[in-house]
Amino acid sequence: MVTMQLKFPFPSARNDSFENFLVDGRNGETVKFCKSFAEGEISGVRSLVLYGQRGAGKTHLLIAMSSMIREKSGEESVFYVSGKDIREKVATSKTYEELKEHLGKYEGAVFLAVDDLDEVEGNQEAEDQVFHLYNAVTQSGGWFAVAVTEPPTAWKFSSWLATRLLWGLALPLNPVGDEQKAAVLKRVAVGMGLTLPDNVANWLITRLPRDSASQMEALETIDRHSLSAGRKVSIPLAREALGITGDEA
């Protein structure tokens, strides 16, 4: 796969695609719809909302969709921004012109992904900016996708933003079942250049948080400890690295 060179970078150290997303009976239909959306096969649909708990793979699919759209269209204007980024730009911009300088570049995007949109809930000015970006991108023929943790029935967005988001697809993304969790962890480790034995992966999935950021941090800690100790990764080494005591393998 060609590495994306985006004007606004996606999260570092990630090469997420549909090919390396683990699918099972819990998430297969949603992954299928995301791929069809990115291929432009769902007539009249320009926006998509992914909702599900942290660690289910929402960021992975946002990146996978962006890769497909960019390669299909050959366009450079594929962007990623988090809800936290938008909220902070609203808070720190001294004038409206300064705010538009920060966010205006997204208006003509072929694809705009907004991750962790929950971060703007209750902030009317930030919600207004998301509403405007939704309109600008979709009306110019682009695609707009967001990720949130809660289903639409639990949203606390302003009614006009919630209504606009529901003009497109709203898809639940469930985490893979227990049989796939170790495989997810091993895939993350491979991406870091870390060899993670099956027994260590199975031990870790019962002791690490579900979100990918925490898992990445734990794997990086284990990797550093393995290198400094000059020992292969094992359950005792992982226990030492993570400071887990009173725990039986």
The residue assigned the tokens 């720190």 is 92
Q: What are phi and psi of 75, to 5 degrees?
A: -85, 150
CA end-to-end span of the chain, whole Å?
38
CATH of the domain at 161: 3.40.50.300
Based on the domain organization, do 217 and 121 belong to the same domain? no
Q: Domain range for residue 202?
A: 178-242
**pLDDT class of 247 with cuts at 50, 70, 90:** low
Based on the domain organization, do 154 and 62 belong to the same domain? yes
Higher pLDDT, 43 or 157: 157
Based on the domain organization, do 116 and 210 belong to the same domain? no
Distance CA(103)–CA(108), nearest Å, equals: 11
Which stretch of DSSP H or E encloses residue 128? helix 124-139
Give 170-193 pLDDT, tens digit per residue.
Answer: 999 998 776 677 887 888 788 788
Q: Please identify, among 137, 172, 207, the residue that sits at the C-terminal boundary of a domain.
A: 172
Give 70-98 pLDDT, tens digit per residue.
Answer: 888 776 789 999 999 999 999 999 898 99
Distance CA(175)–CA(7), nearest Å, equals: 30
Q: Are the C-beta atoms of 238 and 208 separated by less than 8 Å?
A: no
Count of domains for the chain: 2
Q: Please identify, among 142, 172, 202, the residue that sits at the C-terminal boundary of a domain.
A: 172
